[in-house]
Amino acid sequence: MFEWLAFILAMAVQSTSQGGTVQTASEGQTDAAPAFLTPQAGEETAAPAFLQPAAKPALVAEPQVPTGQFTTATEVKPILNVTKGNWVAVREFNGQDLLYVTHLWSWRCGLLEMRVGINGAEPEPWPMPACHTNQAAPNAVLPDDGLPYRTYALGSIQDVRVELVYDDLSEDAESFARAKVQMP
């Protein structure tokens, strides 16, 4: 593959260096796209479908009937609102930064989506385990749920942005400086 690229580049350089002239637009010559690339009058010029952003599935609000098990936004939102300082934690461990979302996972049954952004990056979805509605503690984090943290290079996390979408479709967000959420 590299050989072909080098060959094409060499041919292009050779054609202009062997006495060939290159005319510019200022000399009266204009570069036109080949006809198959030039849109015809009235023709759409939209990008192909595979280049279009994927459609985000629409979120649907869930019924807000309090169950006493903290599985709806009605029950969970007041708790998460007064415990914002606990949403995330940063810990230096074994030569890495660990970003924990344990608190949010513990109240996930009232959430539809959690997005996290590091150091000003656009927040991206952070998957949460399903609620265990068939158990006495639906919000429990069980061994099969995975780990509620991600690893990053040591000292690389300076700030964290968290965006939540509750199951009633309301939203909340908060930003955290490392110094405010770093565990000793």
Contacts of 116 (CB under 8 A, 6+ apart): 88, 99, 101, 123, 124, 126, 160, 161, 162, 163
pTM above the 0.85 mark?
Answer: no
Q: pLDDT digit string (tens) for 103-140?
A: 999 999 999 999 999 999 999 999 999 999 899 999 99
Q: pLDDT digit string (tens) for 48-96?
A: 555 555 555 677 767 677 777 777 888 999 999 999 999 999 999 999 9
| Average pLDDT of the residues of the chain | 79
Q: What pLDDT is attached to residue 178?
A: 98
For residue 70, which of 103, 110, 105 has the smallest C-alpha distance? Answer: 110
Q: What pLDDT is attached to residue 182?
A: 97
For residue 165, which of 173, 157, 177 has the smallest C-alpha distance? Answer: 173
Q: Which residue has the higher pLDDT, 41 or 36?
A: 41
Q: What pLDDT is attached to residue 78?
A: 94
Q: How many CA atoms lie within 13 A of 13 on its CB side?
A: 6
> Cα separation of 155 and 109, whole Å?
32
> Cα separation of 132 and 70, whole Å?
12
